[in-house]
Structure formats: structure tokens, C-alpha cells
Amino acid sequence: MRYLKPFEACSGGVALCGIGGQNMSEYQGDDAEYMADEYEMEDVDEEMDDEFRGREMAGSESDVDEYDNSNSKVADTTAAQARSGKDIQGIPWDRLSITREEYRQTRLEQYKNYENIPHSGEGSGKLRNLVWATSKHDVYFMSHFAVIHWSSLTCSKSEILNVSGHVAPSEKHPGSLLEGFSQTQVSTLAVKDKLLVAGGFQGELICKHLDRHGVSFCSRTTYDDNAITNALEIYTSSSGAVHFTASNNDCGVRDFDMEKFQLSKHFRFPWPVNHTSLSPDGKLLIIVGDNPEGMMVDSQTGKTVMPLCGHLDFSFASAWHPDGVTFATGNQDKTCRVWDVRNLSESVAVLKGNLGAIRSIRYSSDGQYMAMAEPADFVHVYDVKNGYEKEQEIDFFGEISGISFSPDTESLFIGVWDRTYGSLLEYGRCRNYSYLDSLM
């Protein structure tokens, strides 16, 4: 694998052009218990743990206090500071008794990758797609019980949707639950153009148009005990109507028409569905979940077109290349497989992670790059045009709650959960013709 560096740090650590410890330490604070249940880390170094977690937290009486106290811990890291050698997360390695390299090696040796099928990857966790960029300056993410919008252009944040209390639709549509929901625990998120959809651990769906006041639509996919909404995808149909698909643990995939505000399709499969991806032409769906085999199905009928055989464990992620010919799937066996629709007898490439399951996959809109995220610490960016032979490995410390390319491919955002160094990292695309900026 040859080295590639198409993206460089714009800002991050506990920073995003002005988002500092105060804001980003709150990042997914109330999801801590879910994250902790998913992926366990050994206590690798007592002093390291004290330095990372314990500083300035003495006397904390609650988890809320902990997150609040950590707000003032770490200053922003700018692009210039990152280029000059400062740790992008603001971790003071020079004051620790362990080096970054030593701690990285310890993480690699002791991180636990969960498995459903023994020895598949040497994990079942909650699924996270909680970071979405709608432009190179606009990104949406979860912080506590709120969806936050961050503008790197104005260096400001605003609360878009708060689900800590009672949320009910302000618009009346057939099939919408007018009573709404209370204290929704958000399991997944999708934002595209002017639509935001949040999915919950109890099958809740909350839809909000970003250019309207209030919530537009509320629905519950199922009342089954195993109701978690694993993934959401927003798309525009061939008729121009905005739709979204919801993948659920009750083995269902549901398609909602947001022009009519109603369920338009409901497919059932033999196992819980963790992720679904619609092909660019809208004709095919990739279905992956709690089975080593994935499926390519007809998007109109839900009937299987071809099984996808090759992975060794359960799959968490999928994504189509913009060309509609290739797509990728991510699995707990620590691999991402790339497939070609013209020959699905075997995958055309197998890309390996370092720590655990490949939990999120994104292609840039121009099709040149593919990013895949592990459960923690690593995001890999591949050069698609060169057959995935070149890779940029972005490494940091913390659970990954989502990755997102901006639609113009100029930015890559990475959400990192950590009590002290929780952050939203922004990477900008490297260009070889920056001198042209002076002519514009």
C-alpha cells in the first residue's frame, strides 16, 4: 500500500476553527454509556488515564459535572499549529510519562474488537453515523441530546434540534405521531440539503426541515423490543421527491416519502439490517446486517438480485461509488470489501483496518476518494482512481461517531467521542495549485 495524503488538518483536536474544549467536550456526552458498552479498553497506563481523564475533574459528583468540568480543559488547535507539530487533539504528550508512539502501540495490542462469529476479525456494537456535512463550511453533529450546526466560516454553533425533553410535530400529516416523543436517545442521524432525520433506540423517527420552524414529522418504525434505528439515508427519487430509508434491528428496511409524509415501502429480511445504500440510479439496494452475507436487492420489490459472499462476520456499513458500478461494504472482520456489479462472484478489493469493525464508509462526490472509519482511532482515505493502492491513514485517540465528506469534496469531518478530548476534526483537501487563489 503506497502512502497518500490528499487531506491535511484544517483544525481539530478539541477544535474546529473556534470550537474549543467547551463545546466539543460536550460532544455526545450523554451517549457515553452506550459507547462504553460497545468497545472496551483496558486500563493501559494509570498515569496516562489520570492525565487524560482525571485532570481538573476532582470533586465531580456526576457525569454531567464531569463533562462540564472538561469544558475548559483543552484549547483549540488551529491548522497552523497542527502543521507546526502540535497534537491535533491538544494532548500534551510532552507532559506525560508515555509517548504517543508507545500509547498507540498499547492501543493496538489491547483494544477489544467485538465479534459475533469467533475469530472473524480477531464486535456487536451500536452503529454511529452522527456527523453530516452539507457544505465545506457547514456540519451537523450530536452533542448531548441536541443536534448542533457548526459553521467553520463564521466560527459559530447553533442548536437545531433538542430531544432531551418532549418533541412533537408542529405540522399535521397523515401517519405522523402528533403526541411525539420524550427524551429520545438518538442512535443515528442523516442530514442532506434542507432535511434532517434523527433515528432513535426505540424505533423513533424525527424529521425536521432546516428552513422551517419546529418538527415536520414524527413516526415510530416499530414497537418491537429490538427496535433500534441503525442507519438512515436521504435521497431524491427519479420523480424529484425527497425520500429517506431507515434500516432497523427488527429486520426491516422502510422507505418514507417526505413529499407525502408517509411510508412508501417496507421490506423485511431474515436478519437485523445495519445499513442500506441506494445505487445512484435508484434501482438497487445494498443490504448488510447481522449475517456474513450481504444482499443486493431490487429497490422497488425488495427481491434479492445477488448475495454478497466474502465477509466473515456481521456488516455495519455500505456505500456506492458515484459511478454506480462499484460499492463497498464494511464488516466486523476488520475489512472493507469493494465490489463490482458486473461480477459479484467475489470482491475486487479487500481493505484492512487496524483495530476493529469497519463501521462507516463514505465516497467523495467526485468519486476520487473513499474514507472508511474503524470504531476508534483510525480513518483510512483511499485513492479510488488508482485502484485503492494509495492510502492516507488518519490516526487520533477516541471512539469515532461519524465521518462525512463535504458535498464539494473539499473537507472531511471526523467526529471523535472522548470525555476530555472529544472533538470534531476537520481536514481540508490538498491542492497543488493554491497559487491560483491569488488570481481570484
Sequence-distant (≥ 6) Cβ neighbours of residue 103 within 8 angstroms: 44, 45, 48, 397
- Sequence-distant (≥ 6) Cβ neighbours of residue 83 within 8 angstroms: 8, 9
Q: Which amino acid would we find at residue 312?
A: L
Q: What is the pLDDT of residue 353?
A: 94
Contacts with 343 (C-beta within 8 Å, 6 or more apart), sequence order: none
In the structure grid, which three cell numbers stand for residue 382, read together?
A: 483511499
* Cα angle: 428, vertex 429, 432; to 5 degrees: 130
The rounded distance, in Å, linking the Cα atoms of 424 and 401 is 10
At 152 the pLDDT is 86
> What local confidence, expressed as pLDDT, does residue 3 receive?
60
In 262-289, which positions are buried (b, 16+ CB within 10 angstroms) versus exposed (e)?
eeeeebebeebbbbbbbbeeeebbbbbb
The one-character DSSP state at 226 is S
Tens digits of pLDDT across the chain (440 residues): 566 677 777 755 333 332 322 233 334 444 433 333 343 334 434 444 544 443 332 333 333 333 333 344 456 787 788 888 888 888 899 999 999 999 999 999 888 776 666 544 443 445 579 999 999 999 999 988 899 999 988 888 999 999 999 999 999 998 889 999 999 999 999 999 899 999 999 999 999 999 999 999 999 988 888 889 999 999 999 889 999 999 999 999 999 999 989 999 999 999 999 999 999 999 999 999 999 999 999 999 999 999 999 999 999 999 999 999 999 999 999 999 999 999 999 999 999 999 999 999 999 999 999 999 999 999 999 999 989 999 999 999 999 999 999 999 999 999 998 878 888 999 988 876 655 555 54
Judged by DSSP in three states, 366 sits in coil
* Phi, psi for residue 349 in degrees, rounded to 5: -155, 145
Question: 353: closest CA among 369, 370, 373?
Answer: 373
| CB distance 71 to 21 below 8 Å | yes
The amino acid that residue 309 corresponds to is: C
Neighbours of 315 (CB within 10 A): 30
pLDDT at 110: 86
Distance from C-alpha of 178 to C-alpha of 180, rounded to nearest angstrom: 5
**239 within 8 A of 253, measured Cβ to Cβ:** no
Distance between CA atoms of residues 68 and 102, nearest Å? 30
Helix (H), strand (E) at residue 396 = strand 390-405
The residue count for the chain: 440
- Cα distance between residue 282 and residue 62, in whole Å: 48
The helix/strand/coil state of 338 is strand
Distance CA 82, CA 395 (A): 13
Helix count (H) and strand count (E) of the chain?
A: 6, 31
Q: How far apart are the first and last CA of the chain?
A: 37
Give the pLDDT score at 384. Answer: 95
Other C-beta atoms within 10 Å of 153: how many?
11
- Cα–Cα distance measured from residue 325 to residue 341, given in angstroms and rounded to the nearest whole number: 6
> Which structural domains are found in the chain, ordered by start?
126-268 (2.130.10.10)
Q: Report the predicted TM-score, pTM, of the whole model to 2 decimal places.
A: 0.84
